């Protein structure tokens, strides 16, 4: 079976995706699969073999080496951000009938859009922060934000990951800088009230037909919040299992599963919460969680004593069983 491990992307998260892809390459069972490293970058779709690049033919997602064409049986998607976490690649693979891991194009597009995800989850009574949605053509008075959300508050790009473009505003004098930072990532932003409590991150995936919670990791950031530097440059302490009560653990597990199932998810995911007054409040869900050595999801898999190779076998099996939307 020809397996494409697809990594990269068009956003600043591409460097994290390339690390995630290496972990997958190192954990796939080479006796079961013929494995190919595939890079999808803004001006370069290619297969990398012994440091040589072979262009991907986009009409059918194949490549040719020494006159022999290779077509992939399945794609393992580990592209963070666009186009692999927002539904674009999934739609493309659906059209050309290439099975792929993770959730389908609709769930990808939905969960990458913070506003739309919050809107859907509100129907399922999931606790969350208060928020204001703003486009780059809108104007808003900072005093109105404070009146609605209080201080401090967060400014986030509506569609972005790895905490890119996120700022915590402690004083209104910081507002314009936060807007500029967020709008550099996306034309739409979300302004959210601050949740004060214990931050946790929960890995969830589908295994043998059951929604499984890997574990709960407590995030203790060395910075003001869990930003890019804290996530990837060692400025945080990640504690698995989280130091929370049995009641809080039960509620976090139940809420994480409810969100996963309510959104119709499949594949690996990581959901972030802040536990405030004993209640987990939803922050966001990542449908292509980081799989680099520094990432939380692999740490939780190790804690759960689950073999990453077997987990990837399960992902490939689910991908092959799922029919394209037009065949249903």
CA dihedral 83, 86, 92, 94 (to 10 degrees): 150
Ranges of the chain whose pLDDT falls below 70: 161-162, 222-235, 323-328
Nearest to 228 by CA among 170, 177, 157: 157
Taken in order of first residue, the domains within the chain and their CATH numbers are: 2-102 (3.40.50.20), 110-127+196-320 (3.30.470.20), 131-193 (3.30.1490.20)
CA-to-CA distance for 318 and 206, rounded, in angstroms? 9
Report pLDDT for 11.
Answer: 86
Spatial separation of the C-alpha atoms in residues 74 and 196, rounded to whole Å: 43
Model pLDDT, residue 230? 46
Q: Within its chain, how far is the Cα of 324 from the centroid?
A: 22
Structure tokens at 281: 């409040």
| Continuous segment of H or E residues that includes residue 87 | none
Distance of alpha carbon 86 from its chain centroid, rounded?
Answer: 9
Q: What is the DSSP letter of 241?
A: S
**How far is 255 from 272, CA to CA, in rounded Å?**
11
User: The pTM is what?
Assistant: 0.89
Backbone CA torsion sign across 46, 48, 54, 60: negative
User: Which tokens hold the place of 205?
Assistant: 């995936």
Only one residue has tokens 């530097």, namely 229
């Amino acid at each position: 079976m020809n397996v494409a491990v697809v990594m990269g992307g068009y956003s600043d998260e591409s460097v994290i995706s390339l690390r995630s892809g290496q972990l997958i390459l190192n954990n796939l069972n080479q006796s079961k699969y013929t494995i190919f490293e595939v890079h999808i970058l803004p001006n370069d779709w290619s297969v990398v073999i012994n440091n040589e690049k072979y262009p991907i033919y986009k009409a059918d997602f194949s490549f040719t080496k020494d006159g022999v064409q290779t077509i992939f049986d399945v794609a393992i998607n580990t592209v963070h951000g666009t186009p692999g976490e927002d539904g674009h690649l999934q739609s493309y693979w659906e059209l050309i009938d290439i099975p792929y891991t993770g959730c389908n194009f609709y769930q990808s597009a939905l969960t990458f859009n913070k506003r739309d995800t919050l809107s859907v989850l509100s129907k399922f009574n999931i606790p969350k922060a208060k928020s204001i949605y703003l486009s780059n053509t809108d104007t808003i008075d900072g005093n109105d934000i404070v009146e609605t959300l209080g201080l401090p508050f967060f400014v986030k790009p509506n569609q972005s990951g790895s905490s890119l473009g996120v700022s915590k505003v402690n004083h209104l004098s910081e507002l314009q800088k936060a807007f500029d930072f967020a709008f550099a990532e996306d034309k739409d932003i979300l302004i959210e009230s601050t949740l004060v409590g214990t931050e946790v991150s929960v890995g969830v995936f589908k295994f043998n037909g059951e929604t499984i919670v890997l574990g709960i990791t407590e995030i203790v950031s060395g910075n003001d919040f869990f930003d890019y530097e804290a996530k990837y440059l060692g400025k945080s302490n990640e504690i698995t299992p989280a130091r929370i009560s049995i009641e809080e653990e039960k509620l976090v597990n139940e809420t994480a599963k409810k969100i996963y199932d309510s959104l119709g998810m499949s594949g690996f995911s990581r959901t972030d919460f802040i536990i405030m007054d004993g209640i987990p409040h939803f922050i966001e869900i990542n449908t292509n969680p980081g799989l680099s050595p520094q990432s939380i999801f692999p740490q939780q898999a190790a804690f759960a004593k689950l073999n990453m190779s077997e987990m990837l076998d399960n992902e490939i099996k689910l991908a092959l069983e799922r029919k394209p939307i037009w065949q249903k």
